[in-house]
Every structure is written in structure tokens, then in C-alpha cells.
Structure 1
Amino acid sequence: MAIALGGNQYGKAEVRLVRVDRDGKRHRVTDLNVSVALSGDLTSTHLTGDNSKVLPTDTQKNTVYAFARDGVGEAEAFGLRLGEHFVRSQKSIHGARIDFEQYSWDRIEDRPHSFSRNGSATRTATVTWFEDGAHVVSGLSGLTVMNTTDSEFWGYIKDGYTTLAETTDRILATDVNARWLHHTHPTDWAESFEQAKHDLLTAFAETHSLSLQQTLYAMGQRVLDKQPGIAEIRLSMPNKHHFLVDLAPFGLDNPNEVFFAADRPYGLIEGTVRRDDLPEQNSAW
């Protein structure tokens, strides 16, 4: 039986980086979690322990910090700089993947150097750089949203195990986890991100939902409609169930006002909305 080494990569995960840009007295904070993964001509280190083609993960960490000295800017642009450096500076490295989680800080009462951590959502980005080109995926995770009406769920399959009652008025709540692949790079990464986030929220709010799947598609479609440079968007959205509490044992009615918020188990709805006229770039994800 023949045995061979398959696909592999290595790198430094979760490099915590905080950059403070000091524009006079008014400061700007960029708070990132950076993970680097490199691939290439690394067979010998797996088979014989020859490390002559290995760029140490500690060096990768140091590179992230050294590059930050010249400024970080937007995560996508920073990732392109890092990816190009790793691939072009090392003959044995043929591919680099840079993953980012970005945490937001809000100014306290518009003070120039005082901030509070914003927990509404985490901005994400993934840059893959290969010798034949680069791909950029932007995104966000943990964006919690809710519609208190304009949501229904009925007409589904019913069998001997079905107990769920149909409804024409329910709470629809979810955590939006979305990632979108850029076909062309925007001139302003931050503006593109804010536009996509706005379109996701607007589509969620404006869609009279007959299913979370329908809402997911409407959200993805709106992002693509508004930004021609985005090739596809992938969404993962748990259904954060809210069940009407039975108050009858207490002699009370419940006109769709008092709910129990269940955290598990939950339905998980996932899907991709993409442009048919562009080739799929699975390696970018």
C-alpha cells in the first residue's frame, strides 16, 4: 500500500495586534486577531525533519508586528501586503492565507483617546495569496438581529414526528455570519464593508419572511445588487427560537407578547448567493 503526504500548511495562529494611530490628540484604534498559514515545498520537513525550507512561525509573528509599524489600515489591504511578502520572499513558500478578526472600539462621548469595546459584531477578512494571484474575502460574524413580526412559517412537511405548529406571526431572530468574495477590489475597503453590512441589515428588516431561507437569499441578493465587485456571499444563520409562553395556568392570556428565548437546540440555515457568470473560486475560502 502506497502512502504519500497530502495537502498541508503551517503558520502562526491568533497573533494579537493592536495599532494606535495618533493623529494629533485624536487617536484611532485597530484591534486585530491575525492568523497566518503558509503552504508550498514542505515535503522534506514532514518526511525527514529537514527544516531548511521552513520559515519559523515565530518569524511570521514578528513579520506581522514589523509590518504594522508602517501602518495597518484596512485588514484586507494589510493582508495583501503580508501575503505578497511571504510568497515572494521565500522560494519554498507558494501560498499564504491570512485570516483576520477585527474588534471594534467606540469613542466615549467623542473623546479623542477614550474608547469602549463594541460587541455588536466582529469584522472578518481572509486574504489568500498564491503565485498566480490573490483573493480577498471580507465578512462579519455574530451580528444579532431580530424582527418582532412580519415572519411566518407554515406549509412544511408533516409526518408522525411533527409537533411544531404552523404560524403566521412569529419572532425571527438570528446571528448573521456572512463572508463575501471580491471579484474586483474596491477603492475603499471600509466603505465596501459598511455598505455590505447596511445592505444585510436593510434586507433583513424589509423582507416579509416565510422562512429564514427566503430571508437569507434576500440578504445575499441585496449585497450583490449593490456591489458589482462582489462575486458571491456565503451566509450561516442560526434560527434563534422564541417560544410563546403558556400563561393560561396563571389565568392570564398571552397576546403574542411574552416569550421564552431558547439557546439550543437551534435550526441552522446556510447558503451561498453568487453570480452565475463568474467562475467559482473555492480556493479563496
Structure 2
Amino acid sequence: MPKLGQNQYGKAETRVVRMVRDGAVHHIKDLNVSVALSGEMSDVHLSGSNANVLPTDTTKNTVYAFAKEHGIESAEQFGIHLARHFVTSQEPIHSARIRIEEYAWERIGTTGGAQHSFVRKGQEVRTAQIAYDGERWEVLAGLKDLTVMNSTDSEFWGYVKDKYTTLKEARDRVLATEVHARWRYGWSDDARPMPDWDHDWAEARGHLLSAFAETYSLSLQQTLYQMGARVIERRPEVDEIRLSLPNKHHFPVDLAPFGLKNDNEVYFAADRPYGLIEATVLRDGAEATIPTD
């Protein structure tokens, strides 16, 4: 006899751009918001009754209305406003999950002093996920597509070799990766002060970059752990961080057929296949909850 399992529904990837005009100085918040709602939804699946269903079009409209009514202070704060609204305003909805990507813009300097021209930043995408069940919060912050490289201070040798191994040991190699990180804040209930979302995100990002730059790497796994550990050690509001680091391989090109010596100067940047290193770093006593997806 089949039965209905875990289910959710909502509107995915609602793009909302909030413009704040402070006189001649303008500010942009550019978000991609996905809403997922869960609760008493058995009837709509089993009999087609929509009596408990808030239309996904309504969730889209709510995103736009809240951008006006509440503004967008930060991705996390905006997600908290939305999640609380859906759970507390609709009795059949027991939990809400809000996923947000934020696209950053920076000002274009002009000789005339205008502050309304921007260029889209290409460094990374800020991410946030907010889950609320009416009592407890889970807030994940993070980033993706942050491409970094160390042109030296990286080795890879002493690994297992079998009859299929052709990779040569490297005592000086390029280490490049595209950082995908998510971290979970210890804040989980309204009785405690919220973190300073923008400040704490910037601090965590800075620690990730500093650890990447300052670690003499014998493996990408070692670098990953140092990056996660730096955040846990220096940001007390973070209990857990999950990192996914693809190895953006740079292979030295064989220039011998042309009578040339390649002294770690010319590389082939391979886009696939690539090694993928993933791990979670936890504060002592914390449990891992960040999903691997």
C-alpha cells in the first residue's frame, strides 16, 4: 500500500531587484528567491483538494511585496521575514524553507561624481537558506563560484599508486579551486540576539580566503580543512561549515617537442574531468546538519 512521504511546494527562482534611492546615491539588492512550504498537504496529493494550498503565484507576489514593505537589509534577514510570514499566517503551513542567491553590484566611479552607475561583480554569488518550523530557526549562509588560485606553495606526492596511475608527483604546483561554502549559525530562536548577517558573512568569507592563501598545501583536502577550521575558530556564531572544492587542474604543457623548457611557466587549464573534494568542519559538540546537495 503506497503512502505519501515528505513533500513540499513553492515558487522557485523569483528574481527581485530592490532599488533604494537616497537622493543622488542609489543602492541595489539583487536576489534570486526560492520558497518551499510544507505542512498539511495530504489532501492535495491524494484527492486534488486545494483547500490548504497557498498558490505558488502568491508566494512570488509576497516576495515582491516584502521587498517594498520590509526592504532587503540582508539576504538572511529577508528570508527570515518571509519564512515567519508563511508559517504564522497560514495554519496548514507548518514549515518554510527560503533559499536565496544574492548577486552583488559595485559602483562605477565617474568624474562627475554620479553614484547611480554599477557593474555586476563577478567574484562570487552569496547564498542563504532559512528554515523555520514555527519554533526553531536554521540559518545557513554561504557563497559559491568564488574562484581562487595559489601559483605556488602547493605539492601533491606520496599517494597510492597502482597499475592505472599515470599522474606524476608534484613538488611545486598550481592549486586552483572554485569555493562553494555553506555555514550554519548557532542562532536558532527569537529569544537570542541575531547575528549581524552582513558583517558576519564578510568576516567568514575573509577567513576562507586568508586560510586558502596562507596554507602551504600538501593536498586540497588539507587546504579545505584549514579553511573550515579558520572560520570555526574565529567566528563563534558559526557551528558548522561545509565546503565543496573542485580541483581546477593546471597541467604543465610539454614544450620539449618545440625545443623549449617549461619551468612551471605554461599550463593547460583543464575544465573536466576534475577532482571534487568535500567535507564538513564542526565546532566541538555540534552535529552535522548541512545537506550535501
Give the TM-score of the pair, scaled to structure 2. Answer: 0.94
- 1:263: which partner in 2? 271
- 2:33: which partner in 1? 34
- 2:207: which partner in 1? 199
More strand by percentage: 1
8 A contact 2:155–2:171 mirrored in 1:
yes
The code of the aligned residue for 2:139 comes to V
- 2:79: which partner in 1? 79
Counting only pairs closer than 5 Å after superposition, residues 157-236 of structure 1 correspond to structure 2 as 157-184=160-187, 186-236=194-244
8 A contact 2:184–2:290 mirrored in 1:
no
Q: Against the structure 1 CA distance between its residues 216 and 284, is the aligned structure 2 distance closer, same or farther, given a 3 Å change threshold? A: closer
8 A contact 2:228–2:281 mirrored in 1:
yes
1:9-38 per-position Cα deviation (integer Å, ceiling 9, x unaligned): 000000000000111110110000000000
Query: Hey, what's the Cα distance between the residues in 2 that align with 1:84 and 1:131?
Result: 7
- 1:138: which partner in 2? 141
Runs of 4+ residues over 4 Å off in structure 1: 282-285
The code of the aligned residue for 1:106 comes to E
* CA drift at 1:264: 0.4
The code of the aligned residue for 1:88 comes to T
Cα RMSD after superposing both structures: 1.4
8 A contact 1:26–1:112 mirrored in 2:
yes
1:236-280 per-position Cα deviation (integer Å, ceiling 9, x unaligned): 010000000111111111111000000000000000000121244
Aligned residues: 284
Query: Hey, what's the Cα distance between the residues in 1 that align with 2:292 and 2:96?
Result: 11
- 1:126: which partner in 2? 129
Q: Tell me the SS of whatever aligns to 1:59.
A: helix
Counting only pairs closer than 5 Å after superposition, residues 108-127 of structure 1 correspond to structure 2 as 108-109=108-109, 111-127=114-130
8 A contact 2:280–2:288 mirrored in 1:
no
1:169-216 per-position Cα deviation (integer Å, ceiling 9, x unaligned): 000000000000000365421111110111000000000000000000
8 A contact 1:135–1:284 mirrored in 2:
no
* CA drift at 1:153: 0.3
Identity within the alignment, %: 59
Counterpart among 258, 262, 269 of residue 250 in structure 1: 258
- 1:61: which partner in 2? 60
Q: Tell me the SS of whatever aligns to 1:257.
A: coil
1:209-243 per-position Cα deviation (integer Å, ceiling 9, x unaligned): 00000000000000111111101000001000000
Counterpart among 231, 237, 241 of residue 245 in structure 2: 237
Give the TM-score of the pair, scaled to structure 1. Answer: 0.97
Q: Tell me the SS of whatever aligns to 2:124.
A: strand
The code of the aligned residue for 2:115 comes to P
The code of the aligned residue for 1:47 comes to L
- Range with bigger deviation, 87-96 or 272-281: 272-281
The code of the aligned residue for 1:182 comes to Y
- 1:90: which partner in 2? 90
Query: Hey, what's the Cα distance between the residues in 2 that align with 1:246 and 1:127?
Result: 49
Query: Hey, what's the Cα distance between the residues in 1 that align with 2:164 and 2:109?
Result: 54
Q: Tell me the SS of whatever aligns to 1:154.
A: coil
Q: Against the structure 1 CA distance between its residues 97 and 11, is the aligned structure 2 distance closer, same or farther, given a 3 Å change threshold? A: same
The code of the aligned residue for 2:215 comes to T
- 1:49: which partner in 2? 48
* CA drift at 1:284: 11
* CA drift at 1:282: 5.0
